[in-house]
Structure 1
Amino acid sequence: MNRDDEVFGQALDLTGAEREAYLEKIGQEDPALRARVEALLKAYDSADDFMDASPVERPPLAPEEKLGDRIGHYTLIRKLGEGGCGVVYLAEQSEPVRRAVALKVIKLGMDTVEVIARFEAERQALAMMDHPDIARVFDAGATATGRPFFVMEFVDGVPITRFCDQQALPMAQRLELFARVCVALQHAHQKGIIHRDIKPSNILVSLVDGVPTPKVIDFGIAKATQGRLTEQTLLTCLNQLIGTPAYMSPEQAEARELDIDTRSDVYSLGVLLYELLTGRPPYDPRTLQQAGIDEIRRIIREIDPPRPSAAVSTLTAADRTTVAAARKAVPTRLTSVLAGDLDWIVMRCLEKQRDRRYGTASELAEDVRRHLRNEPVVARPPSWVYKTQRFVARNQLACGSAVAVLLAIIIGAIAATTQAIRATRAERVAVTERDAAETARAAEAVAREDAQRRQEQAEDLLTFMIGDFRAGLEQLGRLDLLDAVGSRAMDYFSELPARDLSDTALTRQTAALTQIGEVRMDQANYDAALTSFQAAFDRASTLSTRYPDNGDMLFERAQAEFWIGFVHRRRGGFAAEREWMTRYRDSAVALAALEPESLRSQHELVYGHHNLAVLDFDRGDYGAALQGFEAEHQQIVAMLRDHPEDLQLQRGHVDVLSWLGQIAEREGDFGEAERFFTEMGTLLERLMEVSGHPRWKLRHAQGLAFLGDLQARRNELSAARATNQQARSEFGELVEQDPANQLWQVSALSLELQDAGVALTERQFAEAEQMVSRCLPQLEALVAAEPTSRKFGYHLAAAARLDATLKLLHHQDPEAARAAIQWAQSLLAPLATGEVERIERYVLHEYAVTELFVADLARNEMDASAHRAQIQRVIDRLSPLLSTTHDWRLLVPAAMAHQALGQTDQAAIMQQRLTDIGYRRAFPFSSFDPQ
């Protein structure tokens, strides 16, 4: 009897649901066989003598659950899916809590002894585990018809492979996510549970607080390694495969129950990793689907799949492009990315002999993380060549710096040797014949060319290190590793006067010096940054003088002019900032005249005008600033229509929205300000999805900080707290990536101070004090490291003033409060000097409220004359700006000062302006409140 006859005979003895269940089982093993048997059954049923047979009466099956039915405390909402024996519904739990859950119940007609035992096994398996990445069990019971069910955590996610492709996760993030799955399976293994059906659809991933989070589900065919999950061991029927063929281990395919242990799951994890890396499993699922059980077993047991790198190398160009795009990789480099560690890790999981695989899922996770840390993995032989490669990969900067230093030494030695040769040969010229002199000059020229070639090699290496390396390290948030290279390069460049250098050397060194300066700016090392940018400007100016009609030379000079102006901005040198930003704008105009159609010149022209609009904003000329920013906004939007993927344009779009929001806030239009900040946040969220670059997270966190401050001014304190907390979390992640980045540190600390101010407003003294106490020593260290930074000094002064407030209101200690406020005064004094129109509004605000605090102390000490004189100084300082301003930073302290002097009419004017702009809270604990 052949296989068709055997299956047909078995099916003929069954009817109804039993026949359908049997055919479904056959179809899972061999779809073509099922189709042939169904055709035979249809022909048999239509035969003339079919009605001669007595029909077999079977009791009616209980009706299947319908949507809207209740099972216990749960109402069925919709069907999520079904497996071999269970149906899963989305259900709503009504008591004791209301929540969405996943409810799994045995399928109608499948409640055989074996299936019930397997179902009960899954219920017990899940109940034994407690891990955040494994779906939890909440409840269990039986339906009204007696079918078992259990209720588990509803996971609103998608299969891990689909999630990674939809989110275009790069290789590193895929590996981190995979490692989490391994750790979750390790937990199950420690509880004595083997999953036995690890595949993408059983690992769902969703975003939790913006972080990809996996959940392992469906332990329906799990096997216990310690004790029995059911009263009797569950044995499979003859020739029945338990699991999904494309993901099962050789021993599982052989149905050798005694041979299946945790290493079977390790094999399945290897298949999953293979698919995450290459976009397809090691064995073609269609081939397995068309094969019979014996052929499936032979393939899994005997045929070795290709290595992942070999698999992607055989893809068509279109498929390789698709796979690479989903992993943010370069198609031509996809094979090299997988070759080596990842090939070794995957193929160790897929070993046919289980004792050659990783012993546990945690060992696999740790090896994956070794690869991510550029450490040697245990999956490959640890040859000395391989170890050396990994050491260099982990220490690229140190190794590169050592090479650069060595080359610099070689260059110096060559130069010294060349000079000695010149002197010796000069003497020979005087005493030897002309031929000898000509020979000497020829040798000198060779030596000179050789020295120049070595100089170019050294400069190429430096440019590569601070160029390409910077891009990689910036992605990781580790720019501090470039400090040593930058210092060595500056020492080397300082010995080479610009006028004596060739065009090639000038071009190469200009780019390198600009890169060094940018790294130092990111670290808030302003003096060193200015030195770098000035040296870059000297070289770029020499080039642009030699070639006045060359756009590249003009562009490089413009970059140096911008950065020099920006350094002066950070240091508070306003006159120098305007001078250099005007130079930059003029260079941008000249570049646009040279190449009017180029995108580069359009960019430079936009930013040339942008910077002058910023200067107008700084001096309080908001009308001029608004005009400049609106023109910039229109030009950027027009350019984005032609170049929608241009990241530089998108960054400019984010930036101009930030400035427009700040102007609206300064002019008292809080609603318009919120609109701009919200639009900015939406753009940044999209950019963060497209690119994992820290700059987008930084700008997103800054936008949240603006929005949180705005909400606090409108007395929306709960919303402000939530917004601030999200911003603090994002800044915290940035600081964790690069602990040496002082700008990120001060931004995170300023947000904590902002939150402390909200806590003070709510009279949460203990919470506010805890935050201020954390910030003070860190801000002191930042000011000590960079004393020229106005931003650092301002935030330390604000922290000292909050500290004084707490000492007075919370601890009732006027003397301690006086010491703290005097410290704040000393910090603000250099920041608040000069023409009042040129002082930043936030500095003026901090200065004014600090002086008013001093006045309050004088009043408490019954010193009326000192109290009045102190307040009058505040009014005199602010009065030149008060006639037309709508900026709460000026109106709040002015209203407080007039109120304190009993000048109610003037205070009412300030109060009305604050009310008109939607301001709802004055300085905490003042007698003035616009409400």
Structure 2
Amino acid sequence: MEPAKWKNIKNVLSAALDLPASERREFLAREPDEEIRRAAEKLLAAHEKAEDFIDRPLLIQQGAADDRTKDDFVGEKIENYLILERIGSGGMGAVYLAERVNSDFNQKVALKIIKRGMDSDAILKRFARERKILSTLKHPNIAQLLDGGISSEGLPFFVMKYIEGLSLNRFCGENDLGLEKRLEIFRQICAAVEHAHKNLVIHRDLKPSNILVTADGVPKLLDFGIAKLLSDDGDESAQTVTHTRAFTPEYASPEQILDKTITTATDVYSLGVILYEMLSGKRPFETTGKSYEEIIKSVRETEPLRPSSVVLRQSPAGPGATSENKEQRTREEGRQTNPRARIPNLKLLRGDLDNIILKALRKEPSERYSSVQQFSEDIARFLEGLPVLAQPQTLKYRFGKYVRRHKAGALAAALALFSLIGGISVATWQAIVARRERARAERRFNDVRQLANSVIFEYQDAINNLSGATEISEKMLNDAVVYLDRLSAENVEDTALRLELARAYVKVGDIQGNTFNANRSRFDRAEESYRKALALNETALAERPQDQTVLKQLAGNYSQIGAIKRIQGNLDESTAYYRKTADIFRKMLANNPNDNDALIALASTQINIATQREEPEQVEESLKICREAVEIYERLLAGDPSDKSLKSRRLGGYDALADVLMAAPDKRGEALSYYNKIIALLEDELRGRPDDLEIRERIALTHSYVADALHLTGRETEADAEYKKSLALYDAVIKADAKNDFAVFMRDVVKILFGKFLVEREKFSEAAGILQEPLKNLPARLEKDPQEFTTDFLIAVAHHNFGKAQLNLYKNSGSRDSDRLKSAEENLQKSVSIYEKYFGKVIIPRMSAKDLAEDARRNLENCRKMPGANS
């Protein structure tokens, strides 16, 4: 058979399989090509009882027809899950309602597993890809992956949170939702898709049946079976992907139909179809009675009607309806999906909403919204009565918006307008000229905007790791700031642009001095960039006081400035910014109590507040704040005990609690108990993942914390043993992965702390030996990144204690080795020079650069007073 013919057969069969089972044979019967029809009918017979496995959502919809039959897995136990019943089935696999066993709590889950005998390489790869994609997505509006593994028979499975609810259109119809509530739900769906896009995932099969709405009105996006990871290896670029056809034609974009490159704009289009259907009760194109090729032709060539006109056509036919009217009604019913799912008042749809939806449904991807976020933000503008991007920005349109928002002043404005009538003829010509100039200016503006974003988001990341690129990278960063400043000055009326500019300034600030990532340690300039973003976001908040996106960006700005102030040693100011951050997250939670991302962010912010208040009199308040944060993590974990991210955060919370307790001498015993609890939890994790080097590294680091706590409580012998245990664990990690530079770095950190401990215990010879390797390794690390302040500070600590060790070895030696004395003086002098750069800054907790420098100077003076110092 010719490849082209086989491709057509696959396309027709794929379209048939997307229809209800009762409609598939009728659909195939309309296929004009007899050879294609016969081949597709034979394939359908082999696939008679199954829709494609990947296209079935992980749920059982309320009221859905029960077509279950006995299945091999029901009643079986797969790892920790008892299979209760089948809730979905397909040709390759099935979805089951299961219950977690061997646990302190009952948890119903949806378990998806490949059927016996269907484990071909292609299916296994597809299944593994879906699991990989789901593992990257953590969002309150995306069905959450809980667990996964291999059954005793070698069949892969994964487990997701079990969700009960209704499909999107059914929920809207049965609850008779108004326009605002529908748009609110749709914006939550957009937030889920945008989250996927930010994690480099394109869904590619968005449709109402893949969206479940819970009883409290929270939508959950399901089924990433044919989604694509943009970061997958292969020939696909980082910006777009190509793929074989696997989609639902009624919701597919023209580029999918034509087998062209797929981008995030594809999901924008599908969301446009979904919104069209949510508000009008119909899809944009007729499907009933249409062959596959006719459906494809409609999507490719036909322009959809305005949703408001579709609603108008759905009004009941009166007694005087003509045959032409009835024929039109029959055609319209071909697109009807749920008569109760529409908004009956066409006035609510006419105008802005029509334009918003049709912009998302443009044939050319470049003419749609540039992102799902921009699509959602335009709906937010509509809800707030502001001008929308999709509407031509005419004077009449803007004036109409003004009148509707400010009715009290409309009459006075109208009277004033009459005084301008005399100059209209001249003003009209001037407006035409101005419009042309504005169009040229807008083109130039967009060019600069695109260039600035390229410099910031693309070129910087690409050249950061190139040898010798620091100077050119710095110049490009400076140029990007200039461009951003120009953009801010030229156009400050558009809220979406403000938010985009704010994000760009944050990116610049992150490169200049984000304290949690690789940066150039230009903290003053980073603060300046963050403050520019803050000003833009504060203005946006005044316009959209309840917008979650604006609130999230603003919270990020406060947190970023708080971190900069912490590095600069301004702890009171830092705490004030962190408190502002926490207040915003509380506001977000008041708007949406189910926003777990905001809840987690609040907990992290609480920990930031608690861990920088180290004065003994502040310990009780800090402990209260910290315990509240840990309680949040533990509460979320109770509902999802397998969430690795939450487990890691809980450990971080325990670590923060111990850190706060260490600030009070009488509470260091309790701190020690938390460190031991962390080790116990990590070792428990390690039993299930014995080859996980990351867990081993964290255990090694925590043993060094235990050593510090033991040292400060006077248990010196035990502390010595813990330092040695920490180093032995790091040695094992590095032996398993010799290229693990971070493990090498952390081992050097522990050696420096151990060396300092040994000097304090007057074990000078052992201290000098242990400090030699960090003094060899860390300067080379600093040379690669001269702005790495933590490494620089650690080098000072190493020089300081090596110098003290050498000085005391000289004093205790009868030989009066002048080289040893000279080494002591040189190392102490180097430490003082480095410490002086960090006066007033917090680099390492409980290590004051000023206090350390004073100790180093005292020892330096002793060096210079030693006999033979000048020889």
Query: What is the TM-score of this pair, normalised by structure 1?
Result: 0.40
Structure with higher Rg: it is 1
Query: What is the TM-score of this pair, normalised by structure 2?
Result: 0.43
